[in-house]
Each structure stands twice: as C-alpha cells, then as structure tokens.
Structure 1
Amino acid sequence: MAGLLYSVSMSLDGFIAGPGGDLSWLTPLLPPPGGEPNPLTEEIGALLIGRRTFGGDDAYRDTEGEGEAFGGGWSGPQIVLTRRPPPAPVPGVTFAGDLDTAVRTAREAAGGRLVNVLGADVARQCLAAGVLDEVLTCVMPVLLGDGVRLFDAPGSDPVALEPVAVHRGRYSTDLRYRVRRG
C-alpha cells in the first residue's frame, strides 16, 4: 500500500505561506523550472491536494513551471479533496468529495509509490484520520514574520514524530519524519 507523505516548504520561523496564502516569498528560493532534479519526485506516484492549494497561489508564477507540480518537475495523477469541484473536468485531475475516497483513489493511482500530500488542511485531516505516514519539511532560509503556520491546530494533542533523515541541500534544509503510531 502506498504511504502518505506531507511535503511542505516552510520559513525558518514556521510559516508555509505569507498572509492570505501568498507564496511569492518562495519564488526566489526555489530551483528554476527544469533545473536540478528533485529526488522526492522519484518517489511520488500521485498527489493528494487540498482545494485551496490546488486553486491557490503558485510559487512558480510567471515562470515556465507555472501551474505544474514541482514547477514542472513531476507529472502524474492528481486527486483534489473538495466538496466544490469545478464545473468542467481538468485533465489529469480527479476530484473527491471526502477524505476516505480521496486517500483510497490516491493510493490506487500511486501504484505502490508515495502519495504526496499538498496542503496544510488536508495534511491535518490525514493526520487526524491516522493515515499520514511521514512529514517532509523543507526549511527555507528566510524569516517571514507572519502568514500561515505549518500546523496550526489549537487544542489538539501533540503528535510524536521519529526523525528519518536530514538533508542540507542547495535551496533548503530538509527534515523528514515518520509519524509515530501508538
């Protein structure tokens, strides 16, 4: 069965987006589209995306990678969790109205490879449902001071994570954790 990995870029002070979901802060910190390959994309079989992330800001805006997963560095099946699918079909994208259907569809589409979860809200839902297996946080060299927090769930219980790997790359320091169960 395909595991679920939430991957996210985050400022050093804990923000994954600026105020209102703005991702323009990330653009100068990312590799250029078509640049060096991202090792994560070799592990991914499908994307499970939240609706706001799917229709939101794009860190590759105004570049040749705009509108493409990982700036064009990955292509494959995309499943969007939403109760409001668009009126017209979107090529390569499946819309699912509930988490169970979205996770099942993404796992099947991944063909035994990783399902990459994109979007803080869908990641929180996966964590609460006990289906999220790993978290990969790419810490970017910037302090934003305000915006959307990595995990903002006041009143929730702590979630234990087990370190898997640390990688210091050219553009970020990547911290990979396994979600501890029980």
Structure 2
Amino acid sequence: MAKLLYSATASLDGYLAGPGGDMSWLTEHLTGDNPTAERLLAAVGAILAGNATFGGDDPNRGTDSEGAFGGRYHGPTFVLTHRPPAEPPKGVTFVSDLHSAVAQAKEAAGDRYVNILGANVAQQCIRAGLLDEILIFFAPVLLGDGVRIFDHPGGTRVRLAPVADETAHWYRVIY
C-alpha cells in the first residue's frame, strides 16, 4: 500500500520558498548527483500538491527541467484545491477534499510513494494523521523569510523517528 511522504528542499533556517513564494534561490542548489533524490524519484507513484505549489514559482520555469523533480517526474498528479481550473492540464486531477485526494493518489501510486509537494498540504495531512514520512534536503543558505517547512503556531508536537539514510533528513511520523 502507498505511503504518504512529504519531501522538500529547505534553507537551513527552515524556508521552502522566499517571500512571495519565490523559488529562484533553489536553482543553484539543484546541481550535482544526489543518490537519495534519485531513489526517491524512482519510488514515487503519484504526486499530491497544493494549488499554490502547483501553480506557483518553479526555479526551472521555461527550461527542460521545469516541473516536479526537475521535469523528470511523469506520472499521476493530484492537486488539492477549492478552485480547479475550467480545463485541467493533461494528467492532473483536481480534488477539493483532503481525504478524497489522498485516497485517489494512493490508489494511483499502488505500492509506491505519494509524494506531497507543498507545506500547506503536508500540514493538513499531519493534522489529519495521514502523513507517514518526511524527507527534507537542506540547502546551504539562510533565506530569513518566506514559506516555512512547517508552520502551525500553537500546534501539537509530532514525534519523528529517523529512517536510515546517510545524506538527508528522512523521518517516520509517530502518532
């Protein structure tokens, strides 16, 4: 059965995007081989993204590397939104309910990962007790402001257990 994995690259001070959702800072950090990212891409069976992430800034916009995983992901994508477009792009399903989106993405992923893209959707999955794992890559930069990896002031503590990996911060969520 598919697992829900939130994966992201963040600055060392915990931001996924700069002010206004700016992702241009990330471009210089997406170079070179990354065995963990390669294993992850091979294990992803579906993507579940928030609407802001899906329609937001792409550090590779206008290049051959535009899109998830530097344009290398070609599979089912589900977007959680209350404002779907009149004509959805091919291969993208827009869903308005979190539980329905997760169920559809898990079915599409089979026994592979549903990779969550977007801090808001990840936070919703945590609050609903649906998230299985978190994989964070840290880039050597301090952004100082922007969209946090997790931002839930007054939220409850969530325990994590390390998943064996020597190149990234990958954790199992413990409820």
TM band (smaller chain): over 0.9
Unpaired runs of 5+ in structure 1?
169-173
Indicate the residue corresponding to 1:51 in structure 2.
51
What count of residue pairs does the alignment treat as equivalent?
174
* 1:83-122 alignment runs, 5 A limit: 83-122=82-121
| In 1: Cα distance, 2:64 partner to 2:151 partner | 32
Pick one of 168, 171, 174 that aligns with 1:177.
Answer: 171
Secondary structure of the 1:144 match is: coil
Please state if 1:10 is matched with 2:13. Answer: no
TM-score (normalizing by structure 1): 0.90
* 1:123-138 alignment runs, 5 A limit: 123-138=122-137
Q: CA deviation at 1:13?
A: 1.0
8 Å CA contact retained: 1:5, 1:132: yes
| In 1: Cα distance, 2:109 partner to 2:54 partner | 18
8 Å CA contact retained: 1:38, 1:73: no
Where in structure 1 do 4 or more consecutive aligned residues deviate above 3 Å? none
| In 1: Cα distance, 2:38 partner to 2:57 partner | 21
Indicate the residue corresponding to 1:77 in structure 2.
76
Deviations 1:87-137 (A, max 9, x none): 112100001010011000000000111100000000000011111000000
8 Å CA contact retained: 2:88, 2:94: no
Deviations 1:37-63 (A, max 9, x none): 722101100000100000000021242
**% identical aligned pairs:** 57
| In 1: Cα distance, 2:162 partner to 2:3 partner | 16
RMSD: 1.7
More helix by share: 2
| In 1: Cα distance, 2:141 partner to 2:61 partner | 19
TM-score (normalizing by structure 2): 0.94
Please state if 1:155 is matched with 2:154. Answer: yes
Unpaired runs of 5+ in structure 2?
none
Q: CA deviation at 1:141?
A: 1.1
Indicate the residue corresponding to 1:171 in structure 2.
none
Output the amino acid matched with 1:23: M
Secondary structure of the 1:136 match is: strand
Secondary structure of the 1:25 match is: helix
Output the amino acid matched with 1:47: I
| In 1: Cα distance, 2:110 partner to 2:81 partner | 23
Secondary structure of the 2:161 match is: strand
Indicate the residue corresponding to 2:41 in structure 1.
41
| In 2: Cα distance, 1:167 partner to 1:54 partner | 30
Output the amino acid matched with 1:94: T
Deviations 1:125-158 (A, max 9, x none): 0011111000000011111111111111001011
